[in-house]
Structure 1
């Protein structure tokens, strides 16, 4: 984020905080009730309490960024670096505590930030990474009450449930258990009131961040928040997640490198999901010094195949790269746990991004603007984006997806180039329009890159992408446009 962006962010926050969220809530027809004032120990807070907490968090971060901007002319580079590190450490501690307590969409955003540890001081990244593993748990008594209300007579199939949570996430808590036939399972149980909290968070985010997002995207805030709302509300339906799990099982049935646990429809409802316990190492355990690097490379390549096939071949993307959603086996296979955030990729975007990669890999940057325009990425007035703006990004793609294999996490100069490029092009990028469907595709790719960096992974990344494109060509039975044909049409 540039200093100018920080100032804009802060100005937007001041405007927002001059209003009264409780008045806005009353206007919407949702007056504060005892339910939405519940204690955080029994579920996520909502209503006025969430509004105040979110406003306080965003306002505090904006004030810190403004402070950094004001101090810049009076500090040496060394002192400025020290100040920024201390600032991010303080903000990370505050964010991790508050977002974990709030749960819902607020915690989900914190998890998204934590995936990009290469842009944060190590201490701050470590603190935020806690959001990937656990939120403050709610009492087991509350969890059991939800299960009994949802499963009814199905509880008779359960032999036991561990009272200590196996994991605590943004919208639900996970407990290990055992069925009476001896099957080890996990129960994913939705927090009471979290559906209301998620809707409230999204409403507040529209209200607080909407003007700034509109300014930066030329009026695209509505579609962006619509996409965020649609995906997050889908995550609240555990029956839909069960269907997603079963669809992924079918897609990956012949792939021993990726494991999808079995789901139990007779013990699953909208608010409770039961699936087989699939054992594996946690992400932190996968990073232990005694783990061979070749094993970490295999796990990362399984990540990459999941993304590439999800976008191009299956057009059904596992769109939540939070490290807590995976387990890692010593045979090199990857266990996929969470299927709440799945994204169906529209055909035109899948095909367009395939053409984009082929153009980049063949060095034909001059046709990239037209390819992007066909996908729906262009200037607000419909003009294609200038080649001069896109070529530096194509160069970075060619470096990362080079034929020799790129090692993530070792090239700090690359990250510096990316951030410097963002700083230089910030103003020229304002007003670029894009389809809402790419929001979670890009978020997923960025999250996987963060995971790759932690794994220090090397792999044949270009080959993995091209194999997925070839699989898409075979499965669709279509003759894709050649790059040379696109070049002719662009002239």
Structure 2
């Protein structure tokens, strides 16, 4: 069997106290980088409309990102979300470094990798492969991906789970909840327990490779023979509890299309395809891949197809919630404030008896958020400052403590997908005809 040179890896820390120690070190690096005055300023700005920004040097940012990358698991997921767009927290330079968390966690050492392969495939595991590349082609929060070729000629991507990550999810979220409460990061009057509980269930699902294989197959049925997308097939004879074997697919992360080597037409087409897919997921499939990590989309320049990866965060949406979001979107597009209020109450964005001033502010925010859906023709994300406007208005509302209700925890992951799709279009500086797209999906 042909083998590549194995990388130097870093063992995944295990145990609640050990992982709490690592999280404390990461937080300490962050605090040291910000400084006392910076921390005071962030606390002062936390409840206001002004966006707090962390001023970290490149070296401080690298240390912070490296701490999260060493931990993997739920803590690294937090860092991935922080790196989706750095305009609200990090400087652009720091955000660029943090973006490495999206597809470059520290790989596990060779000893751990060999142990996983032997545990899952047996002592003679290498007999199944003509070639196995020990250097991972991607490494994220739950596991790392290796390229392999079987004896019968199949080109595979093997997603191999880090040892102990599944068992550390509960302790990671417990540690994060302590940090959130200690630093006062939760909005006033909002019980974060349901959201952390939903995050725990979602992370356990992402660590369940059997469930991911089923979600991947179900999603492929919905997409059908669409020539614009490729969804890897699952090879169940080489898939186990801790290894998911899939077709290998060529391509580069889709956000690379923002580089000068690619034409604007390619950026616009990719963003349009993925925005349309996002709307179809909710309003047609009722099956949403809720992790908008840019690395989960590859662009194959040879075929023009977009490769869809990582279905661990895929979840079904109830017909009732789909209907409520349809009503919300239709009302926002039509500037129907009564309909917008009714849909918002149904979803849980506000209560029927909440203060009028806060209700009107929330309706203004939702109306503003629908700007791309109402704008005739192509919405130009390259010149849009919508994110900053929504962020400024939403921040004060979020921390106001004036609302009597909170939306269902499952909406957290839908918001994550919507925001991720918006951020990708912004990253690509794309023009997308969302108004026409929405009319088709909401009809």
- The secondary structure found in structure 1 opposite 2:144 is strand
Aligned pair partner of 1:193 in 164, 185, 188: 164
Q: Which sections of structure 2, spanning at least 5 residues, go unmatched? A: 1-7, 43-49
1:417 and 2:383 aligned: no
Aligned pair partner of 1:291 in 244, 250, 262: 262
Q: Find the aligned partners of 1:396 and 1:219 in 2 and give their Cα distance.
A: 24
Q: Which residue of structure 2 aligns with residue 105 of structure 1? A: 74
Aligned pair partner of 1:150 in 120, 133, 156: 120
Q: 1:349 to 1:211 in 2, by over 3 A?
A: farther
TM-score (norm 1): 0.79
Displacement of 1:377 in angstroms is 2.8
- The secondary structure found in structure 1 opposite 2:134 is coil
Q: Which residue of structure 2 aligns with residue 399 of structure 1? A: 371
Cα deviation code 1:220-265 (max 9, x no counterpart) = 3111011100000011111111111111111111311121011101
Displacement of 1:360 in angstroms is 0.8
Q: Find the aligned partners of 2:357 and 2:146 in 1 and give their Cα distance.
A: 49
Q: Which residue of structure 2 aligns with residue 373 of structure 1? A: 345
- The secondary structure found in structure 2 opposite 1:87 is coil
Contact 2:354 2:402 in 1 (8 A): no
Contact 2:232 2:247 in 1 (8 A): yes
Cα deviation code 1:31-84 (max 9, x no counterpart) = xxxxxxxx9823244322211222343455467376226469xxxxxxx99x95
Q: Find the aligned partners of 1:388 and 1:268 in 2 and give their Cα distance.
A: 52
Aligned pair partner of 1:131 in 76, 83, 101: 101
Q: Find the aligned partners of 1:380 and 1:210 in 2 and give their Cα distance.
A: 29
Aligned pair partner of 1:390 in 351, 362, 365: 362
Higher gyration radius (CA): 1
Q: Which residue of structure 2 aligns with residue 116 of structure 1? A: 85
Q: Find the aligned partners of 1:429 and 1:71 in 2 and give their Cα distance.
A: 21
Cα deviation code 1:268-291 (max 9, x no counterpart) = 111000000011122354232121
Q: 1:217 to 1:266 in 2, by over 3 A?
A: farther
Displacement of 1:215 in angstroms is 5.7
Q: Find the aligned partners of 2:356 and 2:342 in 1 and give their Cα distance.
A: 6
Q: Which residue of structure 2 aligns with residue 36 of structure 1? A: none
Q: Find the aligned partners of 2:177 and 2:241 in 1 and give their Cα distance.
A: 26
Aligned pair partner of 1:343 in 315, 320, 323: 315
Q: How many residues align?
A: 423
Aligned pair partner of 2:206 in 221, 225, 235: 235
Contact 1:173 1:188 in 2 (8 A): yes
1:164 and 2:135 aligned: yes
Contact 1:215 1:430 in 2 (8 A): no
Q: Which has the higher helix share?
A: 1
Contact 1:44 1:104 in 2 (8 A): no
Contact 1:365 1:394 in 2 (8 A): no
1:57 and 2:29 aligned: no
Q: Find the aligned partners of 2:54 and 2:194 in 1 and give their Cα distance.
A: 34
Q: 1:429 to 1:333 in 2, by over 3 A?
A: farther
Q: 1:174 to 1:427 in 2, by over 3 A?
A: closer
Contact 2:30 2:64 in 1 (8 A): no
Q: Find the aligned partners of 1:189 and 1:125 in 2 and give their Cα distance.
A: 28
Q: Which residue of structure 1 aligns with residue 435 of structure 2? A: 462
Q: In terms of mean alpha carbon deviation, does 84-93 or 216-225 score higher?
A: 84-93
Q: Find the aligned partners of 2:335 and 2:414 in 1 and give their Cα distance.
A: 24
Contact 2:255 2:428 in 1 (8 A): no
Q: Find the aligned partners of 1:214 and 1:124 in 2 and give their Cα distance.
A: 21
Q: Find the aligned partners of 1:465 and 1:66 in 2 and give their Cα distance.
A: 47
Q: 1:207 to 1:428 in 2, by over 3 A?
A: closer
Q: 1:69 to 1:242 in 2, by over 3 A?
A: closer
- The secondary structure found in structure 2 opposite 1:42 is coil
Q: Which residue of structure 2 aligns with residue 95 of structure 1? A: 64
Cα deviation code 1:328-351 (max 9, x no counterpart) = 122442101111111211221111
Displacement of 1:374 in angstroms is 1.6
Q: 1:69 to 1:279 in 2, by over 3 A?
A: closer
Displacement of 1:171 in angstroms is 1.1
Cα deviation code 1:443-478 (max 9, x no counterpart) = 1111222211111111111222332334xxxxxxxx
Q: Which residue of structure 2 aligns with residue 452 of structure 1? A: 425
Q: In terms of mean alpha carbon deviation, does 59-68 or 185-194 score higher?
A: 59-68
Displacement of 1:424 in angstroms is 4.3
Q: 1:425 to 1:375 in 2, by over 3 A?
A: closer
Q: In terms of mean alpha carbon deviation, does 385-394 or 197-206 score higher?
A: 385-394
TM-score (norm 2): 0.87
Q: Which sections of structure 1, spanning at least 5 residues, go unmatched? A: 1-38, 73-79, 471-491
Displacement of 1:302 in angstroms is 1.9
- The secondary structure found in structure 2 opposite 1:159 is strand
Give RMSD over aligned pairs: 2.9
